[in-house]
Amino acid sequence: MHPSLLETDHRPWPLPAAPWRWRQSWLDLAFIHYRVPAALLKPRLPAKVELQEFDGSAWLGVVPFRMSGVSPRLLPDIPFLHTFPELNLRTYVECGGKPGVWFFSLDTSSWPFVLGGKHVYGLPYYHASTQHGWKDGRCHFSSIRRHGKAGFEAAYRPVGEIFHSRPGTFEHWATERYCLYSHSPKRGLERVQVHHPPWPLQQVEMTLKTCALPAAAGLPLPGEDPVCHFSPGVSTVSWGVEKL
């Protein structure tokens, strides 16, 4: 049994009946959330996907992290997919009673993941020069797409004790999600379910130098500061694509 499956009581719905297909770990994450008007995001979603709001607003998330240990079920880690940085731009949606994540973009330096994410999962992956590393107790993350587009650069470090979010809080609403959605004219609407233990979270000291992902997606940001958190990460499993 995968270690992530030892805890399941926190899930909002039961585990899928089918065997999981892939395992991976998401590590050294920063959750950077901007409050945005719902009217800005709703036109970007398919008709059957409902935009969710918290505290009277929609939210746009920028999430830099390190992917590690990506491998199919029952096989050892794939050497060239062992570890690499990834950067997501996302919001929060619901379809068929299952709240999940909707991605506007996913940037990584891993060509196999770019191609697999696009063709297997129908996700808007982009190839980018991404860098991740720790120095002087801070995680330094940078990313830039070809031709200097969609730049991102930040340095952050966790502060305070690790905690687990409580239902009803923003942290719980934004992080405890167990599926993702995608849509394309050829593939239609699809869902991929995931499972992981509850997110361990910490407060964070954040220096955000550049964040051009929203602008690259045609989503201007408001002037107010984002809400930020850190997580050392979780081990996860994921299932196959579901046609909806």
pLDDT at 81: 67
> Per-residue pLDDT for 224 more than 70?
yes
State how far the Cα of 131 lies from the Cα of 105, in Å rounded to an integer: 17
Task: Tally the domains of the chain.
Answer: 1
- How far, in Å, are 64, 202, 227, 230 from residue 161 at the CA level? 21, 6, 18, 11
Helices (H), the chain: 38-41, 111-119, 170-175, 213-216
Contact in structure between 60 and 34 (CB atoms under 8 Å) = yes
> Per-residue pLDDT for 112 more than 90?
no
Global pTM reads: 0.95
pLDDT at 40: 94
> Per-residue pLDDT for 201 more than 90?
yes
Taking only the tens place, the pLDDT of each residue in 169-200 is 999 999 999 999 999 888 899 999 999 999 99
- How far, in Å, are 10, 151, 241 from residue 212 at the CA level? 35, 5, 30
Residue 29 belongs to domain spanning? 3-243
pLDDT at 153: 97
Which amino acid is present at 111?
W
Contact in structure between 154 and 207 (CB atoms under 8 Å) = yes
| Residue of 119 and 93 predicted with greater confidence | 93
Question: What mean pLDDT is predicted for residues 30-37?
Answer: 96
**Residue 64 maps to which CATH number?**
2.40.400.10
> Per-residue pLDDT for 75 more than 80?
no
State how far the Cα of 57 lies from the Cα of 15, in Å rounded to an integer: 30
